[in-house]
């Protein structure tokens, strides 16, 4: 037996679920902790926010995971991604985050989907799941379309939190309330750039982050924008509580058309409601204005 295998077995034999998550009690009851242990959470995307969700939910005592990502860890991930370290450079995100979840809870059942989510595996990814967590990259609009479409068919709640600037945004979609497609009005889009604009506008209608972001570092064409670990950690905490409320069926869940943005840099919290999603007149006006500015800037740059 190798030293590493011996160490793993010793660690597992020393693990005790009740002792490991004892300090959760007082916020949850013992029977509720068992509910968390028995539930299954599917997390699509394990990079920026997804990896932080895995670690935080594992520490909440969630006992079953479906984890999906096709990418590997690279140097440009180091500023924000939970699994990005020198020891994991070049490794598949799915393998690393599966390992980290098991490091927190060796008894956890973790099913990796190392090709990400796609039409061929979405049934298996959502099979037996209680809550779906959207940890996909901002620009993964087509994968997100698939995720929300299939989750709604199965009457599954989907929660997503995104780091924007120093802030976090939260959107929750419940099976009996406004859908992701109705909220973002993606049918207004004629191309992927339109989808990015609609997604950004719907996520943060009040856009508290706009005053302090240097627009020179934002590029829809190159699919990049500024990000930081502080905002990612905010997202992870909020998602963990939202998952807890959905699994335990207690607490208030303000689902879409409600949106949330918490911006500690500006000491602001916004809870708003887009009754008609992006189809409302003000959101449509913003969309056309932003699109016009984007196209005019692109023409100047290309010229």
pLDDT in tens, 45-70: 998 899 999 999 999 999 999 999 99
Q: How many domains does one find in the chain?
A: 1
**Which CATH number is 234's domain given?**
3.40.50.720
CB 188 within 8 A of CB 194: yes
Question: Taking the complete model, does pTM exceed 0.85, yes or no?
Answer: yes
What is the tens place of the pLDDT at every residue in 86-96?
999 999 999 99
Domain hosting 283: range is 3-302
Among 199-208, 219-228, 236-245, 282-291, name the one with the lowest average pLDDT: 219-228
């Amino acid at each position: 037996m190798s030293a590493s295998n011996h160490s793993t077995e010793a660690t597992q034999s020393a693990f005790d679920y009740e002792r490991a998550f004892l300090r959760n009690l007082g916020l949850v009851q013992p029977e509720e902790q068992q509910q968390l242990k028995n539930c299954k959470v599917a997390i699509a995307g394990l990079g920026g926010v997804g990896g932080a969700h895995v670690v935080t939910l594992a520490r909440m005592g969630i006992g079953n995971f479906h984890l999906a990502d096709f990418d590997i860890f690279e140097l440009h991930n180091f500023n924000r991604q939970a699994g990005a370290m020198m020891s994991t450079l070049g490794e598949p995100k799915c393998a690393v985050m599966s390992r980290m979840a098991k490091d927190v809870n060796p008894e956890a059942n973790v099913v990796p989907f190392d090709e990400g989510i796609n039409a061929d595996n979405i049934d298996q990814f959502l099979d037996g799941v209680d809550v779906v967590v959207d940890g996909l990259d901002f620009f993964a609009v087509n994968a997100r379309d698939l995720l929300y479409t299939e989750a709604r068919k199965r009457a599954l709640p989907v929660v997503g939190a995104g780091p924007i600037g120093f802030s976090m945004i939260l959107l929750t979609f419940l099976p009996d309330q406004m859908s992701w497609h109705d909220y973002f009005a993606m049918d207004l889009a004629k191309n992927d750039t339109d989808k990015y604009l609609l997604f950004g506008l719907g996520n943060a209608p009040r856009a508290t982050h706009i005053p302090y972001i240097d627009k020179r570092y934002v590029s829809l064409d190159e699919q990049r924008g500024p990000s930081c670990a502080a905002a990612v950690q905010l997202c992870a905490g909020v998602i963990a509580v939202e998952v807890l409320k959905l699994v335990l069926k207690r607490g208030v869940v303000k689902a879409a058309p409600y949106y949330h943005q918490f911006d500690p840099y500006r000491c602001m919290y916004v809870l708003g409601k887009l009754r008609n999603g992006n189809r409302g007149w003000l959101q449509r006006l913003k969309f056309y204005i932003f699109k016009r500015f984007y196209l005019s800037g692109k023409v100047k740059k290309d010229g």
